[in-house]
Structure 1
């Protein structure tokens, strides 16, 4: 599988993991203090080939994603569920721990932000679905983020991501239906 966009990752181990899964070029941020020269490289890559931001599903990864998105808003985003990014001994979370299949799946479903998308999933929809301020809300948000391939987020961030990645009310409803079905089975 060949990816035409340049994939932005956090470090060398992530590059190795990505290149095991797909044929692609990467840019490494080398941590969450993204340098000006790295941002300039990402800007050029976006202009010439497009960019997919593929960071770890943790706070530093989200920080990097935010820094890049603020400067270069047209990038695509690939998200890896936390369960796919945990090392075998459960002490490390990162892209480098993911299987070839999980990396391919995340990159295949990379989504582009759109700040001008008309809101279709409302804040009230999130409340009604039990995704805000309930005993199971965190677990539900995590599962919805996995199903919609937009990553885990708190309630406010989830609402923003649903808009950014143009998740339709139908897609949201289908994901919530699956969450409720899974809860009934467990």
Structure 2
């Protein structure tokens, strides 16, 4: 198989394991650079490796769309706050053989390419503008019978990954997404 070198991400992609790296190599070829955390843990050795590379490289965090993947993403975000984020929807990361298995290694190359094409860059803590919770409640994104469904619609449209109410508020601030953008998405769906 031939790969187009211009399609290979320049950043180092932080993934959970060997199978994720294998899937990225299948997608982009052997030129793709990854760091494996060794699962949902983040050892001191891996932390040191990431910190050492942070001066010269940019990172994209691509973890599994599950609780452990989100936990790891949060740890990595603290370690390298400037890292970009790519998200894969849970339904696009399921194993066809084992229904309970969910991960980057199960995503198709097209899904991975799409996730990396829609990478999100977080703002610094000082730049973050928070949408007040009461406005998210008014929009039916929190405390509404359909809140989870509405949040996932917003998250999918904006490529934020799975979010609960508090995570939604934080991710909207991290990626400088404005209230007007959310309102437009919700109006389009009604």
Establish whether TM, by shorter chain, passes 0.5.
yes
Alignment of 1:86 with 2:94, yes or no, is: yes
Alignment of 1:64 with 2:81, yes or no, is: no
Is the Cα contact below 8 Å between 1:6 and 1:45 reproduced in 2? no
Output the CA distance in 2 between the equivalents of 1:46 and 1:91: 35
Size of the aligned set, in residue pairs, is 180
Is the Cα contact below 8 Å between 1:121 and 1:172 reproduced in 2? no
Is the Cα contact below 8 Å between 1:131 and 1:137 reproduced in 2? yes
1:2 maps to which of 3, 8, 17: 8
Note closer, same or farther for the CA distance 1:177–1:47 as it changes in structure 2 (3 Å cut). Answer: farther
Task: Out of 13-22 and 156-165, give the one that drifted further.
Answer: 13-22
2:52 maps to which of 44, 59, 74: 44
Output the CA distance in 1 between the equivalents of 2:60 and 2:33: 10
Which residue of 2 is the match for residue 108 of structure 1? Answer: 117
Which residue of 2 is the match for residue 184 of structure 1? Answer: none
Alignment of 1:54 with 2:97, yes or no, is: no
Which residue of 1 is the match for residue 41 of structure 2? Answer: 33
Note closer, same or farther for the CA distance 1:26–1:118 as it changes in structure 2 (3 Å cut). Answer: closer
Task: Out of 3-12 and 67-76, give the one that drifted further.
Answer: 67-76
Residue 101 of structure 1 deviates from its aligned partner by 1.1
Output the CA distance in 1 between the equivalents of 2:66 and 2:117: 21
Q: What RMSD, in angstroms, separates the aligned Cα atoms of the two structures? A: 1.6
Which residue of 2 is the match for residue 16 of structure 1? Answer: 22
Which residue of 2 is the match for residue 130 of structure 1? Answer: 140
TM-score (norm 2): 0.88
Which residue of 2 is the match for residue 173 of structure 1? Answer: 183
SS at match of 1:7: strand
Residue 120 of structure 1 deviates from its aligned partner by 6.0
Tell me the alpha carbon deviations over residues 73-116 of structure 1, each in whole angstroms, 9 at most, x when there is no partner.
11111111111111124221111111111101111111121122
Could you list the runs of 5+ residues in structure 2 that have no partner in the other structure?
Answer: 1-6
Residue 118 of structure 1 deviates from its aligned partner by 4.4
